[in-house]
Amino acid sequence: VVIGGSSVDMNPSALLHVIETESFDLRGIALDQYSDTAAGVFQIRRAKGNSASPTDVKANDVLGNFLLRGYNGATFPSAAVIRAQASHDWTATKNDAKIQFFTAAEGATATTQRLEISEQGNLGFNGTTFGGGSFIIFIANTTSAASS
């Protein structure tokens, strides 16, 4: 399905491909929820198998990605990615996951993982995971430091 704009994309890159050709501020996709008890939800679901016979998610399966891309004159490479990934094999009583943040460095053509929040809530920066203890963040070119 292709929606929007004055042109029609005969080869959409997704099942729902919204094309906006107007230059108004704050355009795109919006979800409004009017309720005293419920909130809007953007949901990505993942299973192995197929829709008639889904099977459990396994360790390291990507549950979903939120990709932020910009046009470089030839294509739309990812500049930043937010990813959820299963930490272990899933069961009816075990559904743990981690969330990862990737960015593309200056001059790079691919993203690299910069931050991870593990299923235990531990933080990892540039591939280094910090356990349940305290750590200190030093801010470059200053004399102050933040502790967590």
pLDDT of residue 134: 60
What three-state secondary structure class fits 139?
A: coil
* Side chain identity, residue 99: I
Contact 115, 101 (CB under 8 A): yes
For residue 102, the cross-strand partners are 81, 113
Query: Mean pLDDT for each consecutive 10-residue tract of the chain (148 residues)?
Result: 51 68 66 85 88 94 92 91 96 95 92 91 77 63 52
pLDDT of residue 6: 41
Predicted TM-score of the model (pTM): 0.74
CA distance 131 to 122: 6
pLDDT of residue 40: 82
